[in-house]
Amino acid sequence: MMSSGTSNRLTRNDTALLVVDVQARLMPQIHESERVNAQCVKLIEGAKVLGIPIVWTEQYKKGLGDSTAEIIAAVGDAAEPMEKLEFGCLDNAAVLEAVKALGRPNLVLCGIEAHICVTQTALRGLEEGLNVVVAEDAVSSRRERDAEIGIARMRRAGAVPANVEMLLMEWLGAAGTPEFKQILPIIK
């Protein structure tokens, strides 16, 4: 929940993006994996255009391998993947420090699995006093129902629902800018 006196709108200057565990070995088992991967890529590409910092995690890389090729290409040199064993990204000391060091009150989440790693990250983010926003069209789980339950729990705890296009347009704030011309092909 936003604290009183804080704007409900997200800007490119007060937001960070956390990409959670979009790894190639797990993705074939994820419900609507192509959609999730594509929506995460859109968020990453838009964040890069707008100068929004990106934190990117990979769960147990030895077992689950690298992120998808599309995620790796989209992030490029904007961030290095941070390996973790904890399900909640922010339960990993290095990831928590990386997010805190950005000094951004708003944290947008995308990735997998919605009911495990994304939910635990959202709950910890809320505990840390962050305004957590979940790009619901950019998260999923192996089973659709698990994703739905995870999203419902995050909402109930105070995470704000959003979708990729909503976030990109909110960060932009106006049409007719050079950034708008770069974002438009991303959302189409």
Per-residue pLDDT tens for 37-54? 999 999 999 999 999 999
| Rg, Å, the chain Cα set | 15
Which one-letter amino acid corresponds to residue 60?
Y
Flag whether pLDDT at 4 surpasses 80: no
Per-residue pLDDT tens for 104-163? 999 999 999 999 999 999 999 999 999 999 999 999 999 999 999 999 999 999 999 999
Q: Which of 132, 133, 130 is nearest to 105 (CA)?
A: 130
Could you tell me the pLDDT band of residue 34, with boundaries at 50, 70 and 90?
A: very high
Name all domains of the chain by residue range, CATH numbers in brackets: 15-187 (3.40.50.850)
- How far is residue 84's CA from residue 70's CA, in Å, rounded to a whole number? 20
pTM score: 0.95
Paired tokens of 176: 């007719």
Alpha carbon dihedral 36, 40, 42, 45, in 10-degree steps, equals -160
